[in-house]
């Protein structure tokens, strides 16, 4: 049976094994997919051992996306621009292929929500790895992007790097001018600490839609709860993005794209 895994630390909370099991059943594929706890020190050796034992591919999650990227020999363009990978595939010639399906997962989910109209203005909060992973697909979807970050130099660096792909600029988190955005995406890690993002609430109130790349089981993330309390009509956490990135990884490995909508909307997980 072909073997796959998700590597991260912590990893016990991961829903990826259940998601890929559902995809495998749905598409009639015979495969095994498990959660693997990466070691902060020995991660590279663990991953090489995993593939030496015949594994076909894996997902990579926090904090190993950059370290896994370094182990590959071949890269997709979206992995190269992200500088990180969430997906590895063993090629027939023994080379490791690195891909990044996070941005495709986000774009698919925004399309499912019908929030992705071309040439609209979107605000992305945060300029870390999560933001860098999604910028190329969002610019390719013709979104005009403003990145706001506490450390404005990181937002400026990203804007400079991605300007060749579309309309993108940077601003300091507490200097965003009050204006209308079609979509505001939270890509900071503040939700993990139970916190919202310190921006002027008026900016959220004016937004057509608010998306949090994080998700919380059976509850609202702090950012989603805040947007709700301000009366934002269209809100979503990142569960659909998680399922979407998984589906794009599955398609890369197995050559068949699973149906994500039923999984997201049935609320099975
Ligand atoms: P990830 O890979 O999840 O993106 P990261 O690279 O550590 O994680 O990025 C975390 C993001 O959350 C950054 O944009 C960070 O802002 P800084 O670049 O200024 O550090 C943002 N963030 C984390 N804590 C924050 C806080 N207390 N206030 C504002 N932004 C914060």
Rounded CA separation 143/134 (Å): 12
Helix (H, G, I), strand (E, B) or coil at 243: helix
Ligand 1 centroid–CA 194 distance in Å is 13
Are 203 and 123 in contact by the 8 Å Cβ rule? The answer is yes
User: Residues 176-192, buried b or exposed e (16+ Cβ, 10 A)?
Assistant: beeeebbbbbbbbebbe
pLDDT of residue 111: 97
Are 131 and 102 in contact by the 8 Å Cβ rule? The answer is no
Q: What pTM was computed for the model? A: 0.95
Are 135 and 111 in contact by the 8 Å Cβ rule? The answer is no
Tokens of 241: 């993005």
**pLDDT tens digits, 120-130:** 999 999 999 99
Banded model confidence at residue 218, pLDDT cuts 50, 70, 90: confident
Least confident residue range of 144-148, 165-169, 215-219: 215-219
Catalytic residues: 65
The response to whether residue 190 sits with its C-beta less than 6 Å from ligand 1 reads yes
Ligand 1 centroid–CA 178 distance in Å is 22
Helix (H, G, I), strand (E, B) or coil at 194: coil
The response to whether residue 66 sits with its C-beta less than 6 Å from ligand 1 reads no
pLDDT of residue 216: 85
**Pocket mutation for ligand 1, best pick of 134, 188, 221 (most atoms within 8 Å of C-beta):** 188
Ligand 1 centroid–CA 25 distance in Å is 37
**pLDDT tens digits, 188-211:** 999 989 999 999 999 999 999 999
């Amino acid at each position: 049976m072909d073997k796959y895994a998700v590597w991260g630390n912590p990893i016990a909370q991961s829903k990826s094994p259940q998601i890929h099991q559902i995809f495998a059943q749905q598409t009639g594929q015979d495969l095994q997919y498990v959660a693997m706890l990466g070691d902060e020190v020995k991660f590279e050796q663990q991953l090489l051992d995993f593939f030496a034992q015949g594994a076909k591919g894996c997902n990579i999650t926090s904090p190993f996306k950059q370290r896994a990227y370094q182990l590959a020999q071949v890269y997709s363009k979206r992995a190269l621009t992200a500088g990180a990978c969430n997906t590895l595939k063993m090629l027939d010639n023994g080379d490791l292929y690195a891909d990044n399906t996070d941005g495709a997962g986000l774009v698919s989910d925004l399309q499912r929500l019908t929030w992705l109209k071309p040439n609209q203005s979107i605000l992305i909060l945060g300029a870390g790895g999560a933001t860098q992973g999604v910028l190329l697909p969002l610019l390719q979807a013709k979104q005009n992007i403003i990145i706001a970050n506490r450390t404005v130099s990181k937002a400026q660096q990203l804007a400079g790097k991605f300007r060749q792909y579309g309309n993108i600029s940077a601003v300091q988190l507490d200097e965003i001018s009050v204006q209308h955005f079609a979509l505001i995406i939270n890509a900071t890690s503040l939700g993990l600490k139970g916190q919202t993002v310190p921006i002027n609430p008026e900016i959220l109130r004016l937004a057509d839609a608010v998306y949090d790349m994080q998700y919380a089981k059976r509850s609202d993330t702090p950012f989603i709860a805040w947007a709700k309390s301000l009366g934002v009509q269209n809100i979503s956490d990142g569960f659909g993005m998680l399922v979407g990135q998984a589906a794009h990884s599955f398609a890369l490995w197995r050559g068949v794209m699973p149906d994500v909508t039923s999984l997201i909307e049935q609320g099975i997980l």
